A and B are shown apart, each in its own frame.
Chain A
Amino acid sequence: MFKIVRREEMADGTVILNEIEAPLIAKKALPGQFVILKVNEDGERIPLTMAETDPEKGTVTIIYMVVGKSTALFKELQVGDGFQDVIGPLGKATHLEKVGKVICVGGGTGVAVLHPITRGLKDVGNDVTCIIGARNKDLLIIEDLMKSASHDLRVCTDDGSYGHHGFVTDVMKEVLDGGDIKLVVAIGPVPMMKAVSNITKEYNVETLVSLNPIMVDGTGMCGGCRVTVGGETKFACVDGPEFDGHKVDYDELMLRLNAYREEEQKSHDHYCNLRKAK
């Protein structure tokens, strides 16, 4: 069992942080890599990119949004409880290099994934502007962490309840207009990554995105996580999860993410009914 040593609820309880004892993974993990978690014997294997790792303490931290039955079961776990299985670190690590001025753009729980990459880019000597967004103030996560991980943090909310009123892309354009940006890293909902990539393409700025398609094993064995990048099929689990944002076929990715939507809805309803009955 992989024990939870710290648990936090964020965004009105829709987003959960778990710090988990996994010393072997914590020792090896690098920014951009993910783990697969399985809650119990009958659980589904869920891939999540790590938000933080502490090799000395031997822990990895994940931050996830509660969206279906599997994450609802994750949410039930308290400090002292544990996941039956945690596998990793998986995927390629982010290539961290000093390039100059960098923008890191995060939306929703993508901000959690963006965190170690932002910090890593800062640590190797880049000038990092970070732009994070959420639908409203209550849904915004890890603002303080992102502030310390970057040189300049800009916050946006769709409804204007906090920070800039509008989308992360508006603020990103302003920063891009300031000139000399060498790299943009964008992690969040697929439509956000698509919008960011469309803009940075106009500015001709290299863009990295981190994808989280449906997968089973996470080791290149099943091919469920196929994404089209630059006209070629790639496996996000071993070739990614990061790809050149200008080359990803986002429309296909969105359709593939919906592959089990009906089944998942049924399963989640079934679970909620059972819980109510209890």
Chain B
Amino acid sequence: MVEKAAKKTKTPRVAMPEQDPQIRARNFLEVPTGYTVKMAQEEASRCLQCRKPSCVAGCPVGVDIPGFIDLIAQGDMTGAIRNLWAKNALPAVCGRVCPQESQCEGLCIVGRKGEPVAVGNLERFCADYERENGTGELPPRASSTGKKVAVVGAGPSGLTVAGDLIVKGHDVTVYEAFHKPGGVLVYGIPEFRLPKAIVAQEVNFLERQGVKVECNAVVGRTVSVDELFEQGYDAVYIGVGAGLPRFMNIPGENYVGILSANEYLTRANLMKAYKYPDVDTPIPMGKNVVVLGAGNVAMDSARTAMRLGAENVKIVYRRSREEMPARNAEIHHAEEEGIELFLLTNPTKYLGNESGRLTGMVCLRMELGEPDDSGRRRPVAIEGSEFEIECDLCIVAVGSGANPLLTSETPDMELNRWGNVVTNEATGKTTKKGVWAGGDIVTGAATVILAMGAGREAADSIHDYLELGW
């Protein structure tokens, strides 16, 4: 056994084939192209099948990782996808966008001495295999309870709640403010990282199970939370996301050519503006593009700008590489595609011309000082280090706050001082009876999988409530 384990740690991880950086930097097709059955089985055979799997402990939704991987190794792809569905309503999404390196794969025993098992790639393989070759069977559903649940927001947490509660026999309707369901999966994450057809398929899978999706419904405007109860819902889950873009608050921020990442990505992804003028929504085509911020959203923005034909794209970030919040894989992909990093650089004002269009920005060079509240070393400006960067498009990706549209219309639900909904951490219960919340509206901008984890916990709690009471 020991010998076998040692051998597995030495076997290299099966790399997922990717489009060549030079080519993909100018198209919107998905970057990694997926495992073949042979690759998947080879990779699956690297799993040690630990008795106490630490990978599972690292998964916010508790996927039975060794279980589904073992089924792949045995060639039982149907069994593998069923196993995944038991814990994860959106495996095709999670296999692509979860930060596995800091979750399941980060805790993988094989990874201690070698490369961890490619859990994310295998999860993606399973979901893709089912989509392309599966029988279209649905998970078993409990008999109807007659209880009605309204889910507000068709993003990752709302869809998870819907998927969990529909199989438990409840009647579920998801309300979405946009004209398409998916939330950040459709407006935020670009096509080349998460093809929109896959999101549509995951939503369709829920609809086939009986989940109703009402688009164009802005809860807080079209209908209020209290009106949902009046309409006969027994419970409401709020998963509306962060949805309030932060700007730098420096002079010149309203010049034409400065967009929030939310706007830029929504135009590109949800509105498919990269196909303009075949579609009707335009998007600014920058030649010299600057992206402010260094999270995953910043990487997505920079890589989108490159694909839209930019001559150069710079990421401007006030801290150093070590503090960049983006996943390593995303930073690596961005750099491969020719995106430059301007680290320890902070803009102080935008420059524009007489037509109000952006022409550049003034930046200061920074150095790292003492650690700040976040535990990261505080960037301090170097006096007299001002320099100019020429740019005609700037995408501001410095985070999102809590959008007050729904919460301001729901006064009896407690918020914290940043406007996020206050919930019981274990259950997702808000201070308003019959109302749960989860995802970015509770935590502030975080990841897809954390929002899904919150959705899973809330769904369990909602189910208990519907069966047993508040």
Contact call B256/A256, Cβ cutoff below 8 A:
yes
Q: Which of B206-260 contact A (CB under 8 A)?
A: 215-218, 221-223, 243-245, 247, 253-254, 256-257, 259-260
From B223, B266, B275, B356, contact of A217 by CB (8 A): B266
**Contact flag A87-B216 (CB < 8 Å), given A24-B223, A69-B280, A266-B277:** yes
Contact call B177/A217, Cβ cutoff below 8 A:
yes
Contact call A259/B284, Cβ cutoff below 8 A:
yes
Report how far A25 CA is from B356 CA in the complex, Å: 36
Q: How far is the CB of A164 from chain B (nearest CB, A)?
A: 34
Contacts of B267 in A (CB 8 A): 216
Which of A90, A223, A226, A256 has the largest count of B CB atoms less than 10 A from its CB? A223
Report how far A25 CA is from B218 CA in the complex, Å: 10
A219 sits at the interface (CB 8 A)? yes
Q: Using a Cβ–Cβ cut-off of 8 Å, how many residues does chain A contribute to the interface with B?
A: 42
A57 sits at the interface (CB 8 A)? no
From A90, A224, A228, A267, contact of B259 by CB (8 A): A224
Report how far A219 CA is from B215 CA in the complex, Å: 14
Q: How far is the CB of A25 from chain B (nearest CB, A)?
A: 6
Contacts of A255 in B (CB 8 A): 256, 355-357
Contact call B282/A223, Cβ cutoff below 8 A:
no
A180 sits at the interface (CB 8 A)? no
B271 sits at the interface (CB 8 A)? yes
Report how far A227 CA is from B254 CA in the complex, Å: 8
Q: Report, as a range, how many residues of chain B touch the other chain.
A: 35 or more
A238 sits at the interface (CB 8 A)? yes
Contact call B245/A221, Cβ cutoff below 8 A:
yes
B262 sits at the interface (CB 8 A)? yes
Contacts of A88 in B (CB 8 A): 218, 221-222
B314 sits at the interface (CB 8 A)? no
Contacts of A42 in B (CB 8 A): 272, 275, 278-280
Contact call B222/A25, Cβ cutoff below 8 A:
yes
Contact call A85/B245, Cβ cutoff below 8 A:
no
Contact call B177/A267, Cβ cutoff below 8 A:
no
Report how far A204 CA is from B216 CA in the complex, Å: 41
Q: How far is the CB of B284 from chain A (nearest CB, A)?
A: 7
Report how far A260 CA is from B357 CA in the complex, Å: 11
Contact call A219/B218, Cβ cutoff below 8 A:
yes
Contact call B280/A85, Cβ cutoff below 8 A:
no
Q: How far is the CB of A48 from chain B (nearest CB, A)?
A: 15
Closest to B227 in A: A28
Closest to B177 in A: A219
Contacts of B281 in A (CB 8 A): 44-45, 216
**Contact flag A259-B256 (CB < 8 Å), given A25-B222, A90-B218:** yes
A264 sits at the interface (CB 8 A)? yes
Contact call B356/A267, Cβ cutoff below 8 A:
no
Which of A221, A233, A266 has the largest count of B CB atoms less than 10 A from its CB? A221
Closest to B408 in A: A238
Which of A24, A217, A226, A264 has the largest count of B CB atoms less than 10 A from its CB? A217
Report how far A88 CA is from B177 CA in the complex, Å: 9
Report how far A88 CA is from B267 CA in the complex, Å: 20
Report how far A92 CA is from B98 CA in the complex, Å: 38
Contact call B177/A38, Cβ cutoff below 8 A:
no
A161 sits at the interface (CB 8 A)? no
A89 sits at the interface (CB 8 A)? yes
Report how far A221 CA is from B272 CA in the complex, Å: 17
Report how far A216 CA is from B188 CA in the complex, Å: 13
Contact call B403/A220, Cβ cutoff below 8 A:
yes
B263 sits at the interface (CB 8 A)? yes
Contacts of A145 in B (CB 8 A): none
**Contact flag A219-B243 (CB < 8 Å), given A226-B254, A252-B254:** yes
B62 sits at the interface (CB 8 A)? no
Q: How far is the CB of B108 from chain A (nearest CB, A)?
A: 37
**Contact flag A44-B271 (CB < 8 Å), given A220-B404, A226-B254, A267-B280:** yes
Q: How far is the CB of A230 from chain B (nearest CB, A)?
A: 14
Contacts of A258 in B (CB 8 A): 256, 355
Q: How far is the CB of B389 from chain A (nearest CB, A)?
A: 21
Report how far A66 CA is from B179 CA in the complex, Å: 23
Contact call A85/B179, Cβ cutoff below 8 A:
yes
Report how far A221 CA is from B176 CA in the complex, Å: 14
Contacts of A45 in B (CB 8 A): 179, 271, 281
Contact call B218/A216, Cβ cutoff below 8 A:
no
B405 sits at the interface (CB 8 A)? yes
A198 sits at the interface (CB 8 A)? no
A55 sits at the interface (CB 8 A)? no
Contact call B276/A263, Cβ cutoff below 8 A:
yes
**Contact flag A28-B355 (CB < 8 Å), given A44-B280, A220-B243, A222-B262:** no
Closest to B242 in A: A221
A84 sits at the interface (CB 8 A)? yes
Contact call B280/A86, Cβ cutoff below 8 A:
no
Report how far A87 CA is from B381 CA in the complex, Å: 45
B85 sits at the interface (CB 8 A)? no
Contacts of B403 in A (CB 8 A): 219-221
Contacts of A212 in B (CB 8 A): none
B178 sits at the interface (CB 8 A)? yes
Q: How far is the CB of B172 from chain A (nearest CB, A)?
A: 19
Which of A70, A90, A222 has the largest count of B CB atoms less than 10 A from its CB? A222
**Contact flag A43-B223 (CB < 8 Å), given A255-B355, A256-B254:** no
Q: How far is the CB of B137 from chain A (nearest CB, A)?
A: 30
Q: Which of A86-139 contact B (CB under 8 A)?
A: 86-90
Report how far A219 CA is from B404 CA in the complex, Å: 9
Closest to A222 in B: B263
Report how far A270 CA is from B278 CA in the complex, Å: 9
Q: Which of B429-470 contact A (CB under 8 A)?
A: none
Q: How far is the CB of A75 from chain B (nearest CB, A)?
A: 14
Q: Which of B295-324 contact A (CB under 8 A)?
A: none
Q: Which 10 A-B pairs have the closest CB atoms?
A: A255-B356, A222-B263, A44-B280, A263-B282, A42-B279, A85-B179, A267-B277, A223-B260, A259-B256, A223-B245
Chain B interface residues toward A at CB < 8 A:
177-179, 215-218, 221-223, 243-245, 247, 253-254, 256-257, 259-260, 262-263, 266-267, 271-272, 275-282, 284, 355-357, 403-405
Apart from A217-B266, A220-B404: 18 A-B pairs, beta carbons within 8 A: A24-B223, A28-B221, A42-B278, A42-B279, A90-B218, A217-B177, A219-B403, A220-B403, A222-B259, A222-B260, A224-B259, A224-B263, A226-B254, A233-B253, A233-B254, A259-B256, A260-B282, A263-B277
